Amino acid sequence: MRFFFKFFIPFVLVISCAIAFYGYNQFETFKSFKITKEIDSFEIKTGSNIRTVARSLQNKKILNNDGLIESKWLFIGLAKLTKQDRKIKAGEYALKEGSTPSQLLDLFSSGKTIQYQTRIPEGFNFKQIIEIIKNDKNLKQTLNDDDYKNIMSKLETKYQHHEPEGWFLPDTYSYPRNTTDLQFLQRSHNTMLKELDKHWQNRKIFKGINTPYDALILASIIEKETGAPDDRGKVARVFINRLNIDMLLQTDPTVIYGMGEKYKGNIRKKDLRKDTPYNTYTRKGLTPTPIATPSKAAIESAFNPADGKMLYFVAKGDGYSYFSKTYSEHKRAVIKYILNGKAKKYQGDK
């Protein structure tokens, strides 16, 4: 018996050491293993644990029908050893060629998922924004036409009884896979609320601008009336000055908005005379709602217009406008820039 233990125990120790050494080499080899192909999309679904992720990596076939990793068990062991097994975040990831298991764990723990982008352009109305969202394949579509008609009631906002026009800040938004259309709109709306609140807290007092919504309406008009960025402050000042003396705003974009689908590309004299809630040639003050989604620059101008006593402006044909303090000066500008110097064609006094 002594003879047996004398030789068996050392034998067991040698075998154990050999197995441990082999396991160590296997683990070190596994850690140095690198992905041989770039993977554009690898998704970790919500609720997945480290075992699920490891199995998906091993089953993801690439070159030569091999998986992304050689052993799911070694990947699990590495995750537990580095204490990342409970830090894995759901989402869609882009895996770079040459990535090691450790780098994969770092990526999955960081939550740096693939980001898609959708842009809301400045000056678009809500109908146009709806079309952008509906046609975006990267957004998860959950809203129907009736939902869009009542979209404000579906948002978390104190403006649930408002019309949606103007309430979504134009910008390029990045978001991960499975972001819904409603989540996208909520984010854009929240961004608009923050932008308005930022300016409202330090606002100057202007007649006719009594609420943040009034400022939003004015900003939307500025957005549609401005051809050159440098003119925004002056355009804002014209409207502020007109509101101050109860003068009609007389701005074509509001008339166009009020015409809706009847607008075919040009405004006729009868269109300017036909009274609608949006016709600023027949009604004083601001329109009932915004007429478009204003940019940050337009909002800034609404709160901080340029200095001056101008009451009129006319497009010069180069993207900029000519601003006038008096009607007679404005008339001369119209004749010069619009009528090519032909004073007989001027009909502004009729």
Residues 271-298: what's their mean pLDDT? 96
In a domain, 60, yes or no: yes
pTM: 0.84
What pLDDT does residue 284 have? 96
Any idea what DSSP says for residue 18? H
Question: Looking at this protein, which amino acid is placed at residue 343?
Answer: A
Q: Which of 199, 217, 234 is the last residue of a domain?
A: 199
The confidence score (pLDDT) of residue 2 equals: 57
End residue of a domain, out of 97, 113, 129: 113
Residues 341 and 219 in one domain: yes
Contact call for residues 346 and 322 (beta carbons, < 8 A) = no
Instruction: Give per-residue pLDDT as tens, 14-45.
Output: 565 555 444 555 556 667 788 888 888 999 99
Question: Where would I find the beta strands (DSSP E) of the chain?
Answer: 39-44, 91-95, 116-119, 172-175, 312-315, 321-324
Same domain, 276 and 311: yes
CB 211, CB 246: distance < 8 Å: no
**Neighbouring C-beta atoms of residue 307, cutoff 10 Å:** 8
Q: What's the pLDDT score for residue 21?
A: 45
Tell me what percent of the residues of the chain surpass a pLDDT of 70. 89
Stretch 234-258: mean pLDDT: 97
CA distance 300 to 219: 8
- 338 and 215 within one domain: yes
Which stretches of 169-276 are assigned E, i.e. beta strand? 172-175
Based on the fold, state whether residues 164 and 125 are members of the same structural domain: yes
pLDDT, tens digit, for every residue of 145-156? 999 999 999 999
Residues written for the chain: 350
- Over the Cα atoms of the chain, what is R_g? 32
Highest averaged pLDDT of the listed ranges 78-92, 280-294, 309-323: 280-294
Distance (Å, whole) CA 25 – CA 36: 21
The answer on 232 and 329 residing in a single domain is: yes
Looking at the predicted structure, is the pLDDT value of residue 5 above 90?
no
State whether 325 and 251 are in the same domain.
Answer: yes
Are 77 and 189 within one domain? no
**Within this chain, do residues 150 and 229 fall inside the same structural domain, yes or no?**
no
Question: Is 278 inside any structural domain?
Answer: yes
Grouping H, G, I as helix, E, B as strand and the rest as coil, residue 140 is: strand
Provide the number of structural domains found in the chain.
Answer: 3
* Residues 286, 243: Cα–Cα separation, whole Å: 8
- Considering the domain architecture, whether residues 221 and 328 belong to the same structural domain is answered as yes
pLDDT at site 122: 96
**Domain shared by 122 and 240, yes or no:** no
Parallel, antiparallel or unpaired: strands 39-44 and 91-95: antiparallel
Cα 237 from Cα 312, distance rounded (Å) = 10
Domain encompassing residue 189: 116-199
Encode pLDDT of 309-333 as tens digits: 999 999 998 889 999 999 999 999 9
Kindly state whether residues 286 and 314 are assigned to the same domain. Answer: yes
DSSP 205: P
pLDDT tens by residue, 89-140: 999 999 998 899 999 999 999 989 999 999 999 999 999 999 999 999 999 9
Q: Is residue 187 part of a domain?
A: yes
Who's near 95: CB < 8 A, 6+ residues apart? Answer: 35, 38, 39, 42, 68, 104, 107
| Whole-number average pLDDT of the chain | 89
Q: Which of 199, 232, 265 is the last residue of a domain?
A: 199
4-13, 126-135, 166-175, 281-290: least confidently modelled range: 4-13
For residue 296, pLDDT over 60 is answered with yes
